[in-house]
Amino acid sequence: MDSMYFNINVSDDLRRQRLYDGQLFVYSPTPGSLAFCDFAKEMARQAFGSLDPETAQFSMPVEEYAALLADLKPKFIHHPRSKECIQGLLRDLRCDLNKTYFDVPRLRTSTSDNYLTSGIAYAFHMHRDTWYSAPFSQINWWIPVYDLTQENTMAFHPRYWSHPVRNGSRDYNYTEWNRESRKDAAKHIKGDTRKQPKAEEAIDPDPQIRFVAPAGSILLFSAAQMHSSVPNTSGRTRVSIDFRTVHLDDVVAHRGAPNIDSECTGTTMRDYLRGTDLSHVSEEICVEYDTQPSPA
């Protein structure tokens, strides 16, 4: 990774190839991303009532806070408006909705001062999404709902784009995770005992690139990028939206970022919905991704 592109007017085909090569793309807020943030803020206001969602953690017992998120987040994920917002955002960035497939969006919360860092508000260590059965053609879309600071954002670790890391992905299967572990997220308040892929050797977070931008900005990066949640010391909970996309042509051709250290099985491919009619990727294609990820 040696470049970050800001508001660059290129085709989606070229953008995806640059992302597979390890570059980052950043866009200023668009009508679609701002509408998405407004929707998330409205749902948060309804959930937190008179409390500010960015500071509510300081006024609530952590168990009550976790229970609130356990109710709010699925509502956001499965609300029809969330899918409509994604479709609008994809149009803003000139994606072909007939060939672009997306998964449901997540509403993420990263609380400050170690208030809640497990389970429903899991604080992600340095990792690649490809350790978690993501296809190598997956593009991650990440949008802050409120303005970011360098103390509550996400970091990228460019040293590891081409440097493999020994990790526990060999023991991870996405299908088994969905069946056994995901449903219990809200129960993990004091610590998270669910087995997830992590580095199995010492890795250095520096040098790192921290994404600091206003609400509604859009960050695109490959699922193979090494990234992490910055330890939040800002005094404000970070709230963000993320979802992922794949392009059907790349899926069929098995194009994507290089696989340098992932050994997981299973696939997230069945989660994706076509941008036009919300149909799934065909099972015939999904089966091709059930074994060890490619390309190598």
pTM for this prediction: 0.92
CA–CA separation, 289 and 296 (whole Å): 13
CA–CA separation, 134 and 136 (whole Å): 6
Choice between 226 and 188, residue whose per-residue pLDDT is larger? 226
Q: What is the pLDDT of residue 192?
A: 44
By DSSP bridging, strand 4-6 and strand 273-274 are: unpaired
Q: What is the pLDDT of residue 291?
A: 81
Q: Does domain 4-288 have CATH number 2.60.120?
A: yes
pLDDT tens, residue by residue, 164-202? 999 999 999 998 888 764 444 444 355 445 578 999 999
pLDDT tens, residue by residue, 111-167? 999 888 765 555 568 999 999 999 999 999 999 999 999 999 999 999 999 999 999
CA–CA separation, 109 and 20 (whole Å): 27
* Cβ-count burial 227-258 (b if 16+ within 10 Å, e if not): bbbbebebebbbbbbebbbbbbebbeeebbbb
* Mean pLDDT in residue range 51-69: 95
219's tokens: 């960050």
Give alpha helix (H) positions in the chain.
12-20, 31-48, 62-78, 80-92, 174-180, 248-253, 283-288
CA–CA separation, 201 and 261 (whole Å): 13
Q: Where are the domains of the chain?
A: 4-288
Orientation angle between helical segments 80-92 and 62-78, nearest 10 degrees: 70
